Amino acid sequence: MRSYRKEDTGGDWKLKDWEVMITSLFMTQLKSAVLNDNGQRCRQAAATLDDLTFDNRFVRELPGDTVTANQPRQVRSACYSAVQPASVAAPELVAYAREVAEMLGITADVCESDEFAAVFTGNKLVAGMAPYAMCYGGHQFGNWAGQLGDGRAIALGDIISPCGERWTLQLKGAGPTPYRRNADGLAVLRSSVREFLCSEAMFHLGVPTTRALSLTLTGEQVWRDMFYDGRPKLEPGAVVCRVAPSFTRFGNFEIFTARNEPDVLKQLVDYTLRNDFPQLGAPSTDNYIRWFERVCELTADMIVHWMRVGFVHGVMNTDNMSILGLTIDYGPYGWLENYDPKWTPNTTDAQGRRYCFGNQPAIAQWNLVQLANAVYPLIKRVEPLQEALERYVARYNRLWRSMMAQKLGLKAFDAATDESLVTDLLELLQQAETDMTIFFRRLAHLSADAAPEPEANDEQLIEPLKSAYYIPGQMTPGLHRQTGDWLRRYVRRLDSDGLADTDRRHRMNAVNPKYVLRNYMAQQAIDKAENGDFSLIHELLELLRRPYDEQPDKDRFAVKRPDWARNRPGCSMLSCSS
Ligand code: AMP
Ligand code: MG
């Protein structure tokens, strides 16, 4: 047995990068519930919504739209338009995320009040709120699309939490804004359930994401042509209250460069540096460069997480890329079931597959190039931007390798052996339809402690993984042998690492989730909710709070996608209609 040596890895990376990243996310969360960054005890939660503290610096510090009419139009020289949410017929709470409420200082009693439902569907404003829609543009499917903006999202303002943190509250589906183009400004229950559940599921998986406070029904019906086949139907209207430190997107910067409005661009960049990246120091050309480098890093980290858990965003347009590296705008996203890098849940992208699972790292870099072009007028030098983009690739590759080593339960990625070990595995997973989540979770069951002599046969090795394969007939004798060969190689590699099985299992189970929001599960929750039964939304929210834990009474949610869901709309294919 050979022990791990740092020089084996080429020496330029840290052993536990990945673990540090995941742990620090959870620590931030735990700490914020009790103590603030200075170790002081946090204030008490608000007794009513009127007791919340707002401080709306986005509208205070940045130029706003001078036209007040809420009509679709081009908005010039402004970062936002002040706009009121529309009133709705009958606000009704469907669900709320208790950790988000707690983080904001809103008690369970307040969340369950009629006032909460009224405020978070947009029917009522409380003191201190200053609602607005953001102006941004974006590249959609590789082409510049001009002004997009919050067509149906309305920020209510920034709340200062009891622990002194700042969170922007934003209602999605709260009525039309000047950015709506020819759409209605609304959202339906179907897409709102998906956004609400998935943003919370991602958070608990340790993936950087916007959060969701609440999901409410408006009591109104909304026309949607879900299949774009000219047969619209009425669906229940809904609103999600999203929560994030900032909702600024790459497209917020692009719009000002595209319109040749460098003064507004500079105001927004300076604002972002001061408020969202204060650790980088005061705005200056050098700090603009450091800021762009940091955005590249945050983006790389986010994409590695997506690749770890099998998440496919589905619409990685530059208007859907957060400047903080948060997963944002849950539309036709999906989770890989059988491991297939070419898979995309988005029917609009079925031809080109621009946003398929395997393309996500490269597309993120393409999007960063658009951001670099947008901020170039402030920096006026290509080389530092180019270097940052190259460093994105290096960082992504380094973290991806580290992440794959963690998924396999290795102490560290050893290029000499693991480059081919990982590549060969990912090839193998595509030969027969293999469920990614189940495969990696079950791989921890393999034993390396008791490496039998002579070595285990194919059947013994494959046995713990059988539940990951979709179609028994695809496991031909040849593939069976190849899989057995790979597993033997893997066991030998584990043996050289020398970790005890229990230790390795523990590490693997901390990065390979047992429960993810499988596409069909979200759809079942939607089907029930459309019939007035919200129980599955609540059950899934609870389940996905602990995605890495064994939850023996919930095993039915940790199995392969059932056959009926293979080609059912909403389960494997989604349109952008929402
Ligand atoms: P998305 O594909 O959801 O990221 O949306 C792209 C753009 O379309 C954004 O500017 C959205 O605000 C806008 N949009 C999407 N759906 C609607 C809607 N129902 N009403 C108004 N604007 C919308
Ligand atoms: Mg969007």
3-state secondary structure of 116: helix
17 to 10, 377, 417, 493, 512: CA distances (angstroms): 15, 34, 20, 21, 16
Whether residue 132 is found in the same domain as residue 179: yes
Whether residue 226 is found in the same domain as residue 343: no
Q: Is residue 388 part of a domain?
A: yes
pLDDT of residue 446 exceeding 70: yes
pLDDT of residue 34 exceeding 70: no
pLDDT of residue 19 exceeding 50: no
Q: Is residue 290 part of a domain?
A: yes
Average pLDDT of every residue of the chain:
92
Q: Is residue 15 part of a domain?
A: no
422 to 131, 377, 406, 442, 489: CA distances (angstroms): 49, 42, 11, 17, 11
Residue 131's H or E segment, with its range, is: none
Distance (Å) from CA 320 to ligand 1 centroid: 10
Contacts of 367 (CB under 8 A, 6+ apart): 139, 250, 299, 316, 318, 321
For the CA of 329, the nearest atom of ligand 1? 4
Residue linked to tokens 């020496």: 11
Residue linked to tokens 């609440």: 214
At 186 the pLDDT is 98
Distance (Å) from CA 102 to ligand 2 centroid: 27
Going by CA atoms, what residue is nearest to atom 23 of ligand 1?
151
**Contact by Cβ (8 Å): 75, 65:** yes
Pocket-forming residues, ligand 1, beta carbon under 6 Å: 148-152, 179-180, 183-186, 315, 319-320, 329, 331, 576
At 451 the pLDDT is 57
As a whole-number percent, the residues of the chain with pLDDT over 90 amount to 87
Please choose, from the candidates 194, 208, 199, 139, the residue with its C-alpha nearest in 3D space to the C-alpha of residue 363: 139
Q: Is residue 5 part of a domain?
A: no
pLDDT of residue 389 exceeding 80: yes
Q: Is residue 511 part of a domain?
A: no
At 35 the pLDDT is 64
Whether residue 131 is found in the same domain as residue 244: yes
pLDDT in tens, 258-278: 999 999 999 999 999 999 999
Whether residue 232 is found in the same domain as residue 129: yes
Question: Which of 134, 135, 139, 152 most suits a substitution to test ligand 1, by most atoms within 8 Å of the C-beta?
Answer: 152
Going by CA atoms, what residue is nearest to atom 7 of ligand 1?
148
The ligand minimizing its distance to the Cα of 194 is 1
Cα–Cα distance for residue pair 167/244, rounded to 1 Å: 5
Whether residue 150 is found in the same domain as residue 245: yes
For the CA of 317, the nearest atom of ligand 1? 4
The number of domains in the chain is 4
pLDDT of residue 24 exceeding 50: no
Whether residue 168 is found in the same domain as residue 152: yes
At 259 the pLDDT is 98
* Least confident among 40-49, 66-75, 352-361, 451-460: 451-460
Q: Is residue 344 part of a domain?
A: yes
Cα–Cα distance for residue pair 281/464, rounded to 1 Å: 52
At 36 the pLDDT is 66
Please choose, from the candidates 207, 234, 233, the residue with its C-alpha nearest in 3D space to the C-alpha of residue 220: 234
Whether residue 422 is found in the same domain as residue 549: no
336 to 124, 298, 479, 554: CA distances (angstroms): 40, 23, 22, 20
pLDDT of residue 37 exceeding 80: no
At 354 the pLDDT is 97
Residue 493's H or E segment, with its range, is: helix 477-497
pLDDT of residue 6 exceeding 60: no
Tokens of 139: 């590249």
Whether residue 50 is found in the same domain as residue 164: yes
Whether residue 364 is found in the same domain as residue 459: no
Going by CA atoms, what residue is nearest to atom 18 of ligand 1?
185
At 109 the pLDDT is 97
**Contact by Cβ (8 Å): 163, 42:** yes
For the CA of 136, the nearest atom of ligand 1? 10
* Least confident among 8-22, 296-310, 503-517: 8-22
Confidence of residue 71 (pLDDT cuts 50, 70, 90): very high
**Considering 233, 268, 303, which residue would you say is the last residue of a domain?**
268
Average pLDDT over residues 495-517: 97
At 1 the pLDDT is 28
Omega of the bond prior to 454 within 30 degrees of 0, cis? yes
At 4 the pLDDT is 27
At 10 the pLDDT is 32
Distance (Å) from CA 503 to ligand 2 centroid: 42
Cα–Cα distance for residue pair 560/66, rounded to 1 Å: 54
Distance (Å) from CA 577 to ligand 2 centroid: 12
Q: Which domain covers residue 81, as residue numbers?
A: 24-268
Q: Is residue 9 part of a domain?
A: no
Residue 11's H or E segment, with its range, is: none
Neighbours of 430 (CB within 10 A): 13
Confidence of residue 33 (pLDDT cuts 50, 70, 90): very low
Distance (Å) from CA 329 to ligand 2 centroid: 5
Whether residue 423 is found in the same domain as residue 394: no
Average pLDDT over residues 120-141: 98
pLDDT of residue 225 exceeding 70: yes
Tokens of 340: 């297939």
pLDDT of residue 530 exceeding 70: yes
pLDDT of residue 17 exceeding 70: no
> Pick the residue with more confidence: 393 or 26?
393
**Considering 350, 384, 407, which residue would you say is the last residue of a domain?**
407
For the CA of 149, the nearest atom of ligand 1? 10
Average pLDDT over residues 39-60: 91
Q: Is residue 7 part of a domain?
A: no
Distance (Å) from CA 312 to ligand 1 centroid: 19
Average pLDDT over residues 467-490: 96
The ligand minimizing its distance to the Cα of 149 is 1
For the CA of 177, the nearest atom of ligand 1? 21
Average pLDDT over residues 33-60: 84
361 to 81, 118, 339, 357, 427: CA distances (angstroms): 33, 40, 16, 9, 18
Average pLDDT over residues 450-463: 78
Whether residue 153 is found in the same domain as residue 32: yes
> Pick the residue with more confidence: 153 or 227?
153
Going by CA atoms, what residue is nearest to atom 10 of ligand 1?
148
Whether residue 403 is found in the same domain as residue 437: no
**Considering 373, 407, 441, which residue would you say is the last residue of a domain?**
407
By annotation, the residues acting in catalysis are 319
As a whole-number percent, the residues of the chain with pLDDT over 70 amount to 92
The model scores a pTM over 0.75: yes
